Amino acid sequence: MYSKILIDHFRNPRNMGRMENPDGVGKVGNPACGDVMYIYIKVGKNEKGEEIIEDIKFETFGCAAAIGTSSMVTELAKGKTLEEAEKISKDDVAEAVGGLPPIKMHCSLLASDGLKAAIADYRKKKGKGDAAEG
């Protein structure tokens, strides 16, 4: 049912756990539906001065597909600029884990949405911060 890549990410999740003082948090899903993802990001700058995802962590309540795709999306996003990270789609995530059974495709959507929500949260907080400074 699941690919080897997905099973590997389920059994050995990358970047798993809670982040202290994250710059942005994305919380998506619904416990009643059986999957919830928290994505935490720390934002830094690259040599060109662009904002990048310096560190990323996740916590997930859900099935193996939900856990595996959360782990994968953190791998895909790490080190990317915010603009690049935002472009990671559900299909990118599904492809990276070696495909998902049709009934589990919503898990990859949750993962990409979780990442987008974390970036949006960071921008919202930053916007407020800038406004306060200004």
Partner 1 sequence: MERVYLDYASTTPVDGRVVEAMLPYFTERYGNPTSFYSFGQEAKQAVEEARAKVAELINASPEEIIFTSGGTEACNLAIKGFALKNKKRGKHIVVSKIEHFAVLEACRWLAERGFEVSYLDVDEYGFVSPETLEQAIRGDTILAIVNHANNEIGTIEPIAELAEVAQDRGVAFFSDACISNGSVEIDVARLGVDLLALSAHKMYGPKGVGALYVAKGTRLEALLHGGGQERKLRSGTENVPGIVGFGRAAEIAKKEMRSEAERLRKLRDELIREVLRIPRTRLNGHPERRLPGNANFAFAFIEGEGLILELDFAGISASTGSACSSPTLEPSHVLTAIGLSHAEAHGSLRVTLGRFTTREHVKRLLEVLPRVVKRLRDISPFKESFEDYVEGTEWKGGEHRHV
Enumerate the active-site residues: 33, 107
Using DSSP, state whether 74 is helix, strand or coil.
helix
Is 5 one of the binding residues for partner 1 (CB under 8 A)?
Answer: no
Give residue 33's identity as a one-letter amino acid code. C
Closer of 34 and 44 to partner 1 (Cβ): 34
Closer of 48 and 68 to partner 1 (Cβ): 68
Is 22 one of the binding residues for partner 1 (CB under 8 A)?
Answer: no
Phi and psi, residue 45, nearest 5° = -125, 145
Is 62 one of the binding residues for partner 1 (CB under 8 A)?
Answer: yes
Helices 64-77 and 105-133 cross at an angle (nearest 10°) of 50
Q: Which of 3, 42, 99, 109 binds partner 1 (CB under 8 A)?
A: 109
Both tokens of 46, joined, read 């690259």
